[in-house]
Amino acid sequence: MTRKRPDGGRTGARRPATRVKTARGRAPSSTRWLARQLNDPYVAEAQQRGYRSRAAFKLIQLDERFRLFRRGQRVIDLGAAPGGWTQVAVERAGRGGVVALDLLAMDPVPGAAILCLDFLDDSAPARLTEALGGPADLVLSDMAAPTTGHAATDHLRIMALAEVAFDFAQTVLAPGGAFVCKLFQGGAEAHLLNTIKQRFEKVRHAKPPASRSESAETYLVATGFRAPPDGG
């Protein structure tokens, strides 16, 4: 029996699942996480292809569905660490046009400019725009606040990040540009979604196959940015 590879190709016969013994001092939750990592085909494929995280395949799959990238684009990647999305952006848009930002330090990605900075810092938008050197064609946001386990609180936190990411995107995007943003299940709240729909030709929600089924994450994909007539 064969199975599809994360990039749509085929791998060989299905490998037997790897069992992880509960080690002394390791919590059961840690054991479950380790077992999931060892048996996750996206983790194995990411390692084989040199991607820093399995999350790279989420962006690859979103691009295959929505045709987000083209050569020569200017791209901003928010919440970039450890750099899987940045790697994909450089591969698909080309070197020199990608700027990545994260609060956490990350190793350099050849062909991308890296800013270690809190996106909520007042200086962040100006520094991103300066590093990009012109209007953006695509703004990506995989930002997520640390989860608390309380669904309502976690939803509010990620919605706040989505709102500031959108506010920034509409100041830097070129006409026709696109915006991709992580949300939790339930999608964007009505007022934010309505505002985004006014600024983009198409707005859709998507959960790529690489997003784990038990995860509450989903992605908002907005394409065809309409710049306001007054530029404001």
For the domain made up of 56-225, give the CATH fold. Answer: Rossmann fold (3.40.50)
Give the residue among 88, 28, 29, 90 at the shortest CA–CA distance from 60. Answer: 88
103 touches 118 (CB < 8 A): yes
pTM recorded for the entire structure: 0.82
**pLDDT tens by residue, 60-119:** 999 999 999 999 999 999 999 999 999 999 999 999 999 999 999 999 999 999 999 999
Q: What is the pLDDT of residues 151-205, one digit of tens each?
A: 777 778 889 999 999 999 999 999 999 999 998 866 667 889 999 999 999 999 9
- Is residue 4 part of the annotated active site? The answer reads no
Question: Reduced to 3 states, what is the DSSP secondary structure of residue 139?
Answer: strand
Catalytic-role residue among 4, 58, 182, 197 = 182
Burial 5-43 (b: 16+ CB within 10 A, else e): bbeeeeeeeeeeeeebeeeeeeeeeeeeeebeeeeebbb
Report which of 164, 166, 144, 163 is spatially closest to residue 153, judged by C-alpha positions. Answer: 144
Domain spans in the chain, listed from the N-terminal domain onward: 2-39, 56-225
